[in-house]
Amino acid sequence: MFSTDLPSAPAWHAPAAEAGSDVPTPVRATVRGLRALVSPAALTGSLTELAWVGAHALLYPLGTRTEQLRLDGRYRPGAQPPVVRALFADDPLAAHIPVVLVHGLVDNRSIFTVMRRALRRRGFAQVCTWNYSPFQRDVQSAAEALGRHVERVCRETGHDRVHVVGHSLGGLVARYLVQRLGGDERVESLVTLGTPHAGSRWAHVLPTPLVRQLRPGSALIRELAEPAPTCRTTITAVYSDLDQMVVPSSAGRCDHPDLQARNVLVRGVGHMSLPIHRGVVDEVAATLAGLRNRAETAPAAVA
């Protein structure tokens, strides 16, 4: 089950207690939370998460090398502008705009094994991944490096703009690029999967400089909350109620009054499973094809 909504929705505050009930609201909330954890959807999602983590561990060594960009065989540098080339695309909505996939912390491109193939089958001819060092010192330097990679992709493919999909920390790196470094000039749309837009409480566990930036209220989080009236990149934040790494799960939302952001809640999908979940892949493909960019007047639920 998916639910989508527009950014900056008013916060909902629960009353202290329901009329006619002697049970305090915090106790009822705890009981509801425990029930949610043992629901069939949560159990299925947890088992899928465990299975994928095991499979991903086997695939991880294969993703350590940087992927070579696969060029569209019909493209000749300087011969055709992007608009003309789009006429020959199998899917005009995709228009062969390159898609750059950005992994999360201490990971590599192998996390996108399923999504990369799925997007190519859906008509996105040029889908490439970008590996960055697990020893990256901060989000800002990673964003600068991503910006250089995006420029290279545009230069080698002849396209003016790209789509970016970022998982976990990768989404925050891409957001910093488009919001703070002028990357919106090159990035048409950004989709984040399980990205801690408002930080994560787990970031208090590790004291490394990069992880400290992911703490709620950190200098980086405060910087991303600053005005960004000129950012042109559309943003879709996919977040899950079963995300074990983004705590609380609502921190996966991108709520900023200046950004063209749309939040999509998925239920029963673990953090590492987001890039392989069929519904999430379908949502990403539809978003990149422009089918999800129409303004919605109210929250909607999608099965």
Report the CATH number at residue 150.
Answer: 3.40.50.1820
Q: Assess whether pLDDT exceeds 60 at residue 12.
A: no
Of 111, 224, 91, 216, which Cα lies nearest the Cα of 165? 111
Instruction: State residue 79's pLDDT score.
Output: 46
Q: Judge whether 23 lies within some domain.
A: no
**Number of domain units in the chain:** 1
Residues of the chain above pLDDT 90, percent: 55
Residue 174 lies in domain: 2-7+42-67+80-302
Taking only the tens place, the pLDDT of each residue in 32-72 is 544 555 566 666 666 666 665 666 565 556 655 666 666 55
In a domain, 52, yes or no: yes
Residue 287 lies in a domain: yes
pLDDT at 89 over 50: no
The arithmetic mean of pLDDT across residues 13-27, rounded, is: 46
Quick check: 8 pLDDT over 60?
A: no
Distances (CA, A) of 187 to 19, 164, 261, 286: 50, 7, 14, 17
In 146-204, beta strands by DSSP E: 162-167, 187-193
pLDDT recorded at residue 33: 47
How far apart, in Å, are the Cα atoms of 120 and each of 55, 64, 93? 21, 21, 13
Lowest mean pLDDT among 10-19, 59-68, 254-263: 10-19
Neighbours of 177 (CB within 10 A): 29
Q: Quick check: is 35 in a domain?
A: no
Give 301's strand partners.
3
Give the H or E element holding residue 2.
strand 2-5
pLDDT at 220: 98
Residue 74 lies in a domain: no
Interhelix angle for 139-157 vs 169-180, to 10°?
80
Give the whole-angstrom CA distance, residue 119 versus residue 141. Answer: 28
DSSP state of 247: S
220 belongs to a structural domain: yes
DSSP 3-state helix, strand, coil percentages of the chain (rounded to 5)?
40, 15, 45
> Please, are residues 253 and 9 in contact by the beta-carbon 8 Å criterion?
no
Distances (CA, A) of 75 to 29, 129, 162, 297: 57, 20, 16, 40
Average pLDDT in the chain: 79
20 occurs within a structural domain: no
Say if residues 161 and 234 touch (Cβ distance below 8 Å).
no
Residue type at position 248: P
How many other CB atoms are found less than 10 A from the CB of residue 87? 9
Query: Looking at per-residue confidence, does 74 or 235 come out higher?
Result: 235
In a domain, 14, yes or no: no
pLDDT beyond 60 at 194: yes
pLDDT band at 77 (very low <50, low <70, confident <90, very high): very low
Q: What mean pLDDT is predicted for residues 97-102?
A: 94
Do residues 131 and 170 touch, judged by C-beta distance below 8 A? no
